[in-house]
Every structure is written in structure tokens, then in C-alpha cells.
Structure 1
Amino acid sequence: MIDTDDTAFRLPLRKLGEAKAMFAAVAPHRSLARAPFDTRNLATGVCIAFVLWALLLAAQPLLIHQWTQYIGFWLKALGLPAGTIVGASQAEPLHQLLAPLKSAIPSPEMLFGALAFGGAAWFAAGRLEGRLLPIKYLLRSLCVILLLSILVLLVWPESFAYSLEQHAGDLMTNGYRCLLVFPFMLGVGYHLFDERLVVKLLYSLAIETYFIVMIPHKIILHIVALHFGTRLSMPLLYVCLGSAFDVLVFVALYAWALSNLPPQHHSM
């Protein structure tokens, strides 16, 4: 049996007891604490969310029009061909604008080169350990997407009929849908905390405004990359800079809003 009276055991136990006593009054990290719940805050948050949702819904035609016009401006500024939007009531003006742009199908040589690059990246990622382990999983996930894209283009190229204008149109549609969802995510999260109504409105408007500005720039980036590149990059672009990217940016902005709450909330 182990003699618990031995000094080698009693000293660490005493130190552990002292440490517990020293930090007993320290509140747990806010990520482990219970979120506050107040019916009034919840009702206020839901009301704000519905107001923003209604405004965005009413502004949809104007917003889509302005995004399309802005994309057209940058196409001309970059010297890229742009189509003419016929009529103000066209259902798909972005498709008309991007009709002259094409994204080439990669040649077999390019596909095998990309295959070699993807394989090298896979094995290089395997050398990442310790703190770099999350990067390893991220890189290998991207390698899987790249390798699957190459396989599809080699075996079944006609299934890759997704055009550049369809890709850009889906980005715009999904971006607008995210704009409609984010107010409700703020309403049942950030707005539950005690904060002045004006501040809640300002942060909500700031986050929504950021996405209103960011979405057309993201679409322009996709258009340029696909026009000068090939369709092989389309799945990677969609995964890395598509709706998932919008959600990650929203999480970062949500954390920014929470970090600016009054100090008493951080120790809850």
C-alpha cells in the first residue's frame, strides 16, 4: 500500500489545496458560464430582427440592382467583357452582365499537374503536428475537395456544366439569404444581453452593412479568379469563400460585438 503520510504526497496535496483556495472566487470563463435570459431582452431582440428582416426584404430589388451595377463597374474597370442588361425588370440581370465571361475547362495536362500538386500538399500536410494540427486537417480537407474535382473532370467532365454566371448568381442569392438570417441569429444571441437599445441597433446595422458591402466584392473576386483560371478552382472557391465563409465572418463579428459589452457581462 502507498503511505499517504509520506511527505512526497502531502506536499503536492497541500499545494493543490492552496491553489484551490486562492482561485475559488474566480468566475469561470464566459464560454463555460450560463447565458443570461430575460424575456424583455428576447422580445426586443426578436422585434429588432423582424424589423431588419422586413427592411432587407423590401430592399431586395434595389439591393440586387446596386450589387449588379457595382459588379458591372468593376468589370469595366478591370477591362473584362460585360454584357448589357436589357430592361429594368429582368429576373436575372447578373446572368446577362456576365454572359460574355467564360471559365475554361482545364486540359488533361493541367488536371494531372493539379493532381500532383494536391498529392504533394496532402503529404506535406501530414508533417504538421502539435499546434499546427488544425491546419493539417484544413489542408487535407481542401486536398480532398481538389482531388474529387479532378476525378470528376477526368471521368465525367460534362457534369461540370456549372457556368460562371450561375456560380456568381448563386453566390449573390446565398449572400442575400444570409443577410436575412443573421438578424435572427443576433436576436436570439447578442440581444439577450443587457445593453442599451441604441447600441444593439448600431451593432446589428454595422454587421449587416458589412455584409452588404462585402458580398459584391467577394463575387468580383470569384469572377476574376474563374475567368482567368479554370473551373477546377470553382469548388475550392465555393467552399473557402462561399456561404461557409460568410458564416465564419459573422461569427467573428458576433464575437466582436460580445467583446464590447459592459465589463459585468464578461464575468458571467
Structure 2
Amino acid sequence: MSLQERLQHFKAVRHTGHGGERISLHRAMRTEPFRRLRWLEILGLPLLFNLLLLAFLPQTLAFWQAVTEWSIAATGVPAQLSRLEILDGRIPGLWLPWLDLPASVPSFWQWWSNGLAGLLLLLLSFLISPENMPLRYLLRLFVIIQACACVYFAFLPAAFSHSLPEYHSSCLTFVLTLLFLMPWVHALTFHVLEKPLWHKLALSGASLAYLLLEAPLHYFATALVLHYGSLLFMPLLFILGSLMMEVMMMIALYAWAMSWE
């Protein structure tokens, strides 16, 4: 057998399993061609969405204002709605909704009821079966955050300097920043792949549309929790119920887009 024949034999054996079947390439090792023209999609699409968002930014903020006004009318909550100028007025006409709604420190009974509820959740986490281990850890995370808030408000209630209107405005500012960053995240994680152009447009478009509609409703709902509950819930809402919710939904939309044929 010549040297060339031996090399061909070794190559064939290398890709043959113990039963004689051919070993196919694992999907984690597969590659796909990267066309230079794809750089236009990677850089051009997020830039296009950023320019469109910047062009319609006054209308976007006016839409958030209208949705918040509708939410106040629908719930009948005693809130006053005004506007907060952003970017120090460098771009005229940019106003975020400012929700003037009071929220107080927890009362005696609110503090004790939250403490007892946290204790019950902690005990419940030990009764959950090992098959549902993530739920067990999630309940304990709730308890840890709320327990820290209870301890803080028990000893330093007057030192809590955050208010409900500031929390509402800050969360909307975070989402506004995410609206500009999200297309660039898609450029690094989705546009680099060999996907049809309309898939890439649809993913960024659906994500933007979701954030634009979800943000004012989401943070008005959290404002209601703080108003009818107390500031005791603000740490829990900020850590697990604010921007994390939008990020998780962006991940879900990305996973859905990856499944498109």
C-alpha cells in the first residue's frame, strides 16, 4: 500500500465510528461562509433603526405620555402627570412622562405582613421537589431581597431617598437607552449569521415595537404597586421587576427568531 493510500485510509478511519457508521460533524463545529457584503447588514441595520428612532423620538415620548394618561384615567389613581425635559434641553421637544404619585414608607402592619410572607415563602422553598429546583432558588432570592428591605426600613426608614416619580422616570430612561442599544446587540448576535434580511429586520422591528408599547404600561403597573403597597417593594421591583423583564423578553424574541425557517 502506497503512502497516499495509507493517508486516505487513515482519513476514512478518522471519521468512522466503532460500528462502522460515518461520524457526522457536530453542529457546534460547523461553520458557514461569511460574505463581506454582510458587513452592510451588521453595521447598516442597527444604524438605520437608530436613525429612525431618533427621527421619531418626539412622537415616541408623546406616545408614552398618552399611554400613561390613559392608564391614569382607566385606573382612577390619584396621580398628576407632567413632563420632564431630557438631555438638558439640547434637543427641543423631548419630554419624558413625570408621574406625580405618592408612595409612603411601610406601616407597622405592612412591615410585619411582608416579614411573615417572606418567612412562609422561605419555608415553602424547602417543600418544593428537587425537580423544581429553579423555583426553589427563585423563591429564596425573593426572600433575601425582601428581607434586606425589611431590615433597612426597620432601622433607617427616613434615609431612603428614592421616590416613586424618580423611580418611574429612571426606569423609562433605562428603556429609552435600551431602544438604541438593542439593534447593536442584534448586530453582534443575529446579523452575523446567515439569515434572510427580512428575519433581521423583523427581529429588531418586533423588539422595538414591544419595548415601545410595554414600557409605559409596565412601569405604570409598578407605580401602582408602590402606591398601594409601599416603598418596601421598590428594591424587589428594581432588581427583578424592572429592566430585567425587558432583557428577558429580548432574549425570548431572539430565541424565537432563531427558530424561524
Relative to the length of structure 2, the TM-score reads 0.81
Q: Does 1:57 align with 2:60?
A: no
Q: Tell me which amino acid in the other structure corresponds to 1:82.
A: A
Task: Give, in angstroms, the shift of residue 201 of structure 1.
Answer: 1.3
Q: Indicate if the aligned counterparts of 1:45 and 1:191 stay in contact, CA closer than 8 A.
A: yes
Structure 2 CA distance for aligned equivalents of residues 86 and 114 of structure 1? 34
- Other-structure match for 2:97: 94
- Other-structure match for 1:24: 23
- Other-structure match for 2:76: 79
Q: Tell me which amino acid in the other structure corresponds to 1:210.
A: Y
Structure 1 CA distance for aligned equivalents of residues 156 and 94 of structure 2? 31
- Equivalent residue of 1:24, what SS? coil
- Other-structure match for 1:145: 145
- Other-structure match for 1:224: 224
Task: Give, in angstroms, the shift of residue 159 of structure 1.
Answer: 2.5
Unpaired segments ≥5 residues, structure 2: 1-16, 86-91
- Other-structure match for 2:182: 182
Task: Give, in angstroms, the shift of residue 236 of structure 1.
Answer: 1.6
- Equivalent residue of 2:162, what SS? coil
Q: Which of the pair has the greater relative contact order for Cα pairs under 8 Å at 6+ separation?
A: 1
- Equivalent residue of 1:178, what SS? helix
Structure 1 CA distance for aligned equivalents of residues 62 and 179 of structure 2? 16
Structure 2 CA distance for aligned equivalents of residues 23 and 126 of structure 1? 48
Structure 1 CA distance for aligned equivalents of residues 103 and 206 of structure 2? 35
- Equivalent residue of 1:85, what SS? strand
Q: 1:139 to 1:50 in 2, by over 3 A?
A: same
Structure 1 CA distance for aligned equivalents of residues 250 and 162 of structure 2? 28
Moved runs in structure 1, 4+ residues, more than 6 A? 86-91
The more displaced of 55-64 and 116-125 is 55-64
Equivalences for residues 153-172 of structure 1 within 5 A: 153-172=153-172
- Equivalent residue of 2:48, what SS? helix
- Other-structure match for 2:130: 130
How large is the RMSD of aligned CA atoms in angstroms? 2.6
Q: 1:84 to 1:172 in 2, by over 3 A?
A: closer
Deviations 1:165-201 (A, max 9, x none): 1111011101111111110011111111223323321
Unpaired segments ≥5 residues, structure 1: 1-15, 263-268
Structure 1 CA distance for aligned equivalents of residues 84 and 229 of structure 2? 31
Structure 2 CA distance for aligned equivalents of residues 109 and 250 of structure 1? 38
Structure 1 CA distance for aligned equivalents of residues 218 and 255 of structure 2? 22
Structure 2 CA distance for aligned equivalents of residues 35 and 183 of structure 1? 24
Structure 2 CA distance for aligned equivalents of residues 86 and 205 of structure 1? 27
Q: 1:84 to 1:187 in 2, by over 3 A?
A: closer
Structure 2 CA distance for aligned equivalents of residues 189 and 86 of structure 1? 36
Q: Indicate if the aligned counterparts of 1:46 and 1:188 stay in contact, CA closer than 8 A.
A: no
Structure 1 CA distance for aligned equivalents of residues 226 and 23 of structure 2? 57
- Give aligned pairs, total: 238
- Other-structure match for 1:266: none
Q: Indicate if the aligned counterparts of 2:84 and 2:95 stay in contact, CA closer than 8 A.
A: no
Q: 1:106 to 1:83 in 2, by over 3 A?
A: same
- Equivalent residue of 1:80, what SS? coil
Q: Indicate if the aligned counterparts of 1:172 and 1:219 stay in contact, CA closer than 8 A.
A: yes
Deviations 1:110-169 (A, max 9, x none): 212211221221232123342211111111111110000101101111232311111110
- Other-structure match for 2:114: 114
Deviations 1:228-259 (A, max 9, x none): 21111122222222111111110000011111
Task: Give, in angstroms, the shift of residue 67 of structure 1.
Answer: 0.2
**Percent identity, aligned pairs only?**
23
Task: Give, in angstroms, the shift of residue 108 of structure 1.
Answer: 2.4
Q: Indicate if the aligned counterparts of 1:72 and 1:82 stay in contact, CA closer than 8 A.
A: no
Structure 2 CA distance for aligned equivalents of residues 48 and 207 of structure 1? 14
Task: Give, in angstroms, the shift of residue 52 of structure 1.
Answer: 0.8
Structure 1 CA distance for aligned equivalents of residues 129 and 84 of structure 2? 57
Task: Give, in angstroms, the shift of residue 90 of structure 1.
Answer: 8.0
